[in-house]
Structure 1
Amino acid sequence: MTAAYWVLATLLALFYLYAGAAKVARTRDQLRPVMAWVDTTPMPVVRALGVLEALGAVGLVLPPLSGIAPWLALAAALGFALLQVGATAVHLRMGDRQVTLNTTLLLAAAATAWLSTTWL
Structure 2
Amino acid sequence: MPTDRSARLLSGLLLGAGVAHFVVPRQFDAIVPRSLPGSPRTWTHLSGVAELAVGAAVALPATRRAGALTAAGLFAAVFPANVKMAYDWRHKPAPLRAAAVARLPLQAPLIVWALRVARG
TM-score, normalized by the shorter chain, greater than 0.5: yes
Pairwise CA RMSD: 2.2
Residue in 1 that maps onto 2:66: 75
Choose from 31, 41, 51 the match for 1:37: 31
Choose from 77, 88, 95 the match for 1:86: 77
Q: How many residues align?
A: 101
Aligned-residue offset at 1:25: 2.6
Residue in 2 that maps onto 1:118: none
Aligned-residue offset at 1:105: 1.0
Deviation per CA, 1:45-66: give whole Å up to 9, x if none: 111111111111111122x2xx
Identity %: 25
Residue in 2 that maps onto 1:58: 56
**Structure 2 length normalisation: TM-score?**
0.71
Q: CA separation of 1:84/1:13 partners in 2, compared to 1, >3 Å: closer, same or farther?
A: same
**Structure 1 length normalisation: TM-score?**
0.71
Unaligned 5+ runs, structure 1: 65-69, 116-120
Give the Cα–Cα distance (whole angstroms) in 1 for the partners of residues 33 and 79 of structure 2. Answer: 16
1:92-111 matches, within 5 Å, as 92=83, 94=84, 96=86, 97-98=101-102, 99-111=104-116
